[in-house]
């Protein structure tokens, strides 16, 4: 670097940056402990080929990332580029204002990093990626804010549109920029998040998790159902080869050879099951005990999130300590750095380490995402049967994307079925072992667009009769994960209960086969028939369908809404996403999460719903407030 380079002081300050020391801990911070397991429902259903099998210490990570930083800067200058000091805007130090909750909780550790090392490191990585457009923030650290004070997540995301801001009159240069925008857009469609940060509080529990992560006895948790084993569906994504952060290039060949031998090779088929004559289910514990901190669960949750985003790099940070992880896909191994102190880190300095980290993330993303293509969906045939409506156990398997449940999740019935012709009230069973004819199976595909209550998936339901014959049916499973979603899904189920027990049969609503609860995560699932595609989807795929079809659709839907109103229910969220049309142009109305029982059938609010129904079919309202829930 030229000693007279005006940017030199800024560069040296960034490279030598260390985090500000914590002068004191706020009263109460030491008591910050987790109040729930970090594992989500989906974390236990990651494909066996994609799960983490071992955690290994990789002390060379800091040295490797520092080398990435040094070599990238040297190449930047060798190619004739210079840093522009005019648009390099970096805060001198962390602002003490706008503290969320306790000063030392996970959200503030997240914010502290984002506004310091996370900020300037992504700036440098963006400039290295496209040197013609400096400080473009193509890569930006995004805080996924929640109310959780013990675990807070940020992701490094891709913003290709920011490159176009710097396009000039140079046609050749603009062509290069456009090609890079297209490449980055492809990467963002595959996964908008390319690296993952997990922050913990500066408390005894938070520090303990980061300190003790590198252990030799890691255990991945799967659903506790016994008697059915699923063979993995997903193919293993490729690791980037030839880059210095790949563990294969850093004295770990012997370890990798051993881990490769331990990794089982599974056949690449859609879904293969090994099924015993009896299935054993586990039940949730009702004992109230102090929650033990299971460090493996925090590793599993972070790894599962990295699998979802196909990220290579994971960072664990509690403010005082940090570890950088590399997800090696082929050996299913998480390589963790030695413990890093953001305040005292000197060789390399914390700033150089993280500029190298963000640069490595960008290079890894570029190499892996260029040739990716979107996966194809699988369609299944439709048939009908109601035997599932009296069974108390649903064994649920995820089969899409990165998910292929190693064992199915056990969902126990907690609510009656309201399917046509089913009048039985269920009685909770205390059994733990079931024959195939005593449970039904659900295999879920990728979810529809997010529902206002939870997340809904198309699924294939399979029932084995006493005769051994297997029947299948297209079905929809709607999940509720959080406490708020639980409350709304139970409200929706209560509306279906009210409609089912009204004095007249209410037509135009889907048969509901019951409400179920997962015994591992307490996730709720509402199981119902598949009613076709939404009116919005139909209008997009077949905007010019025959007029007599449209008349049948709106007549059927009008009749359904009148029946719902007659039963004393006001939907409060009628719109093109909550109207389903089947192949016979029959309509059903869904999405009762905002509905209320309202006996004033002649009220203006009922008339407003009828107007909204007409607008949904005619498409003559674009005002978002018109479609907002009442």
Note the pLDDT of residue 311. Answer: 92
Q: What whole-number distance in Å separates Cα of residue 575 and Cα of residue 356?
A: 49
Condensed to tens digits (0 to 9), the pLDDT of residues 232-283 reads 755 677 787 766 767 666 555 444 443 333 333 333 345 666 777 789 988 8
Whether residue 82 is found in the same domain as residue 203: yes
Average pLDDT over residues 499-521: 87
Average pLDDT over residues 379-385: 39
Q: Which of 476, 499, 529 is the last residue of a domain?
A: 529
Tokens describing residue 467 = 């005769």
Rounded to whole angstroms, what are the CA distances from 6 to 11, 78, 345, 492? 10, 17, 27, 63
For the ranges 172-181, 246-255, 515-524, the one whose mean pLDDT is highest = 515-524
Whether residue 442 is found in the same domain as residue 573: no
Q: Which of 472, 494, 529 is the last residue of a domain?
A: 529
Q: What is the phi/psi pair of residue 285, to 5°?
A: -85, 140
Q: What whole-number distance in Å separates Cα of residue 350 and Cα of residue 359?
A: 14
Least confident of 261-265, 434-438, 471-475, 518-522: 261-265
Average pLDDT over residues 456-466: 91
The enclosing domain of 447 has a CATH number of 3.30.200.20
Note the pLDDT of residue 374. Answer: 37
Whether residue 105 is found in the same domain as residue 35: yes
- CA–centroid distance for 622 within its chain: 30
Note the pLDDT of residue 373. Answer: 40
Residue 78 lies in a domain: yes
Q: Which of 476, 502, 529 is the last residue of a domain?
A: 529
For the ranges 147-151, 171-175, 249-253, the one whose mean pLDDT is highest = 147-151
Whether residue 54 is found in the same domain as residue 192: yes
Looking at the DSSP bridge assignments, the partners of residue 397 are 443
Burial (CB < 10 A; 0-12, 13-18, 19+), residue 580, is buried
Note the pLDDT of residue 377. Answer: 33
Whether residue 553 is found in the same domain as residue 524: no
Q: Is the pLDDT assigned to residue 370 strictly greater than 70?
A: no
Whether residue 584 is found in the same domain as residue 476: no
Whether residue 53 is found in the same domain as residue 164: yes
Residue from 469, 458, 465, 479 nearest 580 by CA: 458
For the ranges 461-475, 537-551, 600-614, the one whose mean pLDDT is highest = 461-475
Whether residue 32 is found in the same domain as residue 125: yes
Check whether the bond before 505 is cis (ω within 30° of 0): no
More confident call, 92 vs 360: 360
Residue 249 lies in a domain: no
Residue 287 lies in a domain: no
Whether residue 561 is found in the same domain as residue 524: no
List Cβ neighbours of 2 (8 Å cut-off, separation of 6 or more): 8
Whether residue 25 is found in the same domain as residue 163: yes
Whether residue 361 is found in the same domain as residue 446: no
Note the pLDDT of residue 97. Answer: 42
Residue range(s) defining the domain that contains residue 329: 7-222+295-367
Residue 522 lies in a domain: yes
Condensed to tens digits (0 to 9), the pLDDT of residues 93-142 reads 554 444 555 667 899 899 999 989 999 999 999 999 887 777 888 899 99
Whether residue 322 is found in the same domain as residue 404: no
The bridge status of strand 273-280 relative to strand 226-230 is: antiparallel
Q: Is the pLDDT assigned to residue 465 strictly greater than 60?
A: yes
Note the pLDDT of residue 146. Answer: 82
Note the pLDDT of residue 349. Answer: 95
CB 477 within 8 A of CB 457: yes
Residue from 154, 152, 9 nearest 92 by CA: 9
Our count of domains for the chain comes to 3
């Amino acid at each position: 670097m030229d000693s007279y380079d005006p940017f030199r002081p800024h560069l040296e300050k960034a490279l030598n940056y260390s985090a500000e020391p914590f002068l004191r801990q706020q009263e109460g911070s030491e008591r910050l402990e987790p109040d729930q397991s970090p594992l989500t429902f989906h974390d236990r259903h990651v494909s066996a080929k994609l799960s983490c099998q071992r955690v290994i210490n990789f002390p060379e990570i800091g040295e490797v990332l520092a080398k990435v930083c040094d070599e990238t800067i040297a190449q930047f200058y060798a190619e004739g580029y210079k840093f522009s000091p005019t648009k390099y805007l970096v805060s001198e130090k962390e602002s003490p204002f706008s503290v969320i909750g306790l000063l030392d909780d996970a959200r503030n550790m997240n914010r502290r990093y984002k506004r310091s090392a996370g900020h300037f490191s992504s700036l440098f990585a963006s400039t290295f990626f496209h040197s013609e457009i400096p400080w473009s923030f193509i890569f930006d650290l995004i805080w996924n804010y929640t109310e959780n004070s013990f675990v807070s997540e940020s992701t490094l995301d891709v913003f290709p549109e920011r490159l176009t801001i710097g396009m000039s009159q140079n046609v050749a240069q603009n062509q290069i920029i456009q090609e890079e925008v297209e490449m980055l857009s492809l990467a963002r469609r595959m996964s908008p998040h390319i690296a993952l940060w997990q922050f913990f509080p500066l408390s005894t529990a938070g520090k303990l998790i980061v300190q003790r992560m590198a252990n030799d006895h890691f255990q991945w948790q799967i659903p506790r159902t016994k008697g059915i084993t699923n063979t993995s569906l997903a193919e293993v994504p490729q690791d980037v080869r030839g880059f210095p952060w790949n563990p294969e290039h850093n004295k770990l060949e012997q370890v990798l050879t051993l881990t490769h031998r331990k990794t089982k090779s599974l056949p690449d088929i859609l879904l293969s099951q090994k099924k015993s004559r009896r299935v054993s289910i586990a039940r949730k514990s009702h004992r109230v005990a102090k929650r033990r901190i299971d460090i493996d669960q925090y590793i599993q949750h972070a790894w599962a999130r990295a699998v979802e985003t196909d990220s290579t790099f994971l960072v664990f940070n509690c403010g005082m300590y940090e570890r950088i992880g590399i997800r090696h896909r082929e050996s299913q191994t998480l390589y963790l750095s030695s413990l890093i102190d953001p305040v005292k880190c000197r060789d390399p300095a914390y700033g150089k380490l993280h500029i190298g980290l963000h640069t490595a993330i960008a290079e890894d993303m570029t190499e892996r995402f260029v040739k990716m293509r979107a996966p194809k969906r699988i369609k299944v045939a439709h048939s009908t049967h109601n035997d599932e409506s009296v069974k108390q156990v649903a064994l649920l398997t995820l089969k899409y994307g990165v998910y292929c449940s190693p064992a199915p999740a056990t969902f126990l019935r907690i609510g009656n079925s309201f399917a046509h012709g089913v009048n039985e009230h269920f009685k909770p069973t205390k059994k733990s072992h079931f024959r195939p004819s005593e449970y039904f199976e659900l295999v879920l595909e990728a979810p529809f667009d997010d529902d206002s209550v939870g997340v809904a998936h198309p699924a294939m339901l399979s029932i084995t009769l006493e005769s051994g014959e297997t029947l299948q049916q297209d079905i929809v499973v709607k999940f509720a994960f959080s406490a708020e979603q639980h409350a709304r899904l139970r409200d929706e189920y209560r509306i279906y209960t009210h409609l089912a027990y009204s004095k007249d049969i209410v037509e135009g609503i889907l048969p509901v086969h019951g409400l179920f609860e997962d015994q591992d995560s307490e996730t709720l699932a509402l199981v119902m028939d598949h009613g076709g595609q939404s009116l919005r989807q139909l209008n997009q795929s077949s905007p010019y369908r025959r007029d007599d079809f449209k008349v049948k659709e709106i007549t059927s839907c009008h009749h359904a809404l009148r029946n719902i109103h007659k039963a004393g229910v006001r939907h409060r969220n009628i719109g093109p996403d909550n109207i389903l049309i089947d192949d016979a142009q029959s309509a059903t109305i869904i999405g009762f999460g905002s509905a209320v029982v309202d006996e004033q059938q002649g009220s203006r609010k009922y008339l407003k719903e009828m107007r909204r129904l007409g607008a949904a079919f005619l498409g003559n309202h674009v005002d978002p407030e018109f479609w907002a829930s009442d």
